[in-house]
Structure 1
């Protein structure tokens, strides 16, 4: 969308950006009613669909800005070499966009990892509860087992630490991906 020119390009981009203006938690009750009506309440899909919809506008905003900053010479050199639109995208643009895509993945991961309210309202079974809901189980009405909470938090850090060590390979070196 960043490079292609079509009739309602600016309007389409503006509609996606309007998603950033809507307070996410203001949509909680309508989303609950929709999920209940279509039978997705208390499933992973009841979280996946809203999370995707909420973060799509920020994702498009970041990737659009990155793609606009890429020099058009890269695409033109692909055309000169005889590559089509898809080949240019997969072989030239996508490898260069890895840092921007990694940024988007990390941001979306952080937002979803810490989200509490939607999971609390849309998930009720113990087997499907997310990490923040599971950690809330260690807090009782009269007591809170700090030992259990800290143990659970230590275990919960393992995926983040693994992700932290895997991220430099996913992001890559800026100088290598840009050729400078």
Structure 2
């Protein structure tokens, strides 16, 4: 939306950015009713769709902030050399935006991995439970908990996010700060 000029681009951007202001918890009851009416309760779709919907505003914000400071001269020279819009995007823009892509993928991968409220609300079947709901089963009734097994399970579920962040931390940090300062 930043580099392409069309009639309602600012209104479109504001529409998507409005989603940042909507708290997830406010949408639980309406989403539950919609998913119930569409027979999507107790399916992975009922967990995936809200993740996509609530992930779009921040993702769009990060990409627009990055593309705002992407030099027009680079893209103009590629077009003058005969590159199509597809070729321009795949060969020039996407490689330059690799840090943003890694940042958004990692950010929402970790968010989806740690998500509790949507699976807890929309899933009932034991076979569909996510990792965070599985951890809930380790806590016993009335505080009777096997803390050794609980902490082992917590470490097993937290370790993948630590490993991903350890290997991608430079890309994530540069992706989060891309577009923050004009160079």
Same structural fold, with TM-score higher than 0.5 when normalized by the shorter chain: yes
* Whole-Å separation in 2 of the counterparts to 1:66 and 1:86: 19
Superposition deviation, residue 165 in structure 1: 5.0
Listed one character per residue, the Cα deviations across residues 34-63 of structure 1 (whole Å, up to 9, x for unaligned) are 111111111111000011001101100110
Superposition deviation, residue 163 in structure 1: 2.0
Q: Which moved more, 1:83-92 or 1:149-158?
A: 149-158
The size of the alignment, in residue pairs, is 174
The residue that corresponds to 1:145 in the other structure is 146
Alignment of 1:8 with 2:47, yes or no, is no
- Which aligned runs of 4 or more in structure 1 are off by greater than 3 angstroms? none
The residue that corresponds to 2:165 in the other structure is 164
Instruction: Give the structure-1-normalised TM-score.
Output: 0.89
Superposition deviation, residue 71 in structure 1: 0.5
Superposition deviation, residue 157 in structure 1: 3.1
The residue that corresponds to 1:97 in the other structure is 97
The residue that corresponds to 1:118 in the other structure is 118
Listed one character per residue, the Cα deviations across residues 125-150 of structure 1 (whole Å, up to 9, x for unaligned) are 11111111111100111211111111
What 5-or-longer segments of structure 2 have no aligned partner? Answer: 175-183
Alignment of 1:128 with 2:128, yes or no, is yes
* Whole-Å separation in 1 of the counterparts to 2:169 and 2:96: 15
* Whole-Å separation in 1 of the counterparts to 2:75 and 2:23: 38
The residue that corresponds to 2:33 in the other structure is 33
Query: 1:19 is paired with a residue of what secondary structure?
Result: helix
Q: Please say if residues 110 and 161 of structure 2, whose CA atoms lie closer than 8 Å, have aligned partners that are also in contact.
A: no
Q: How does 1:24-103 map to 2 (within 5 A)?
A: 24-103=24-103
* Whole-Å separation in 2 of the counterparts to 1:165 and 1:29: 37
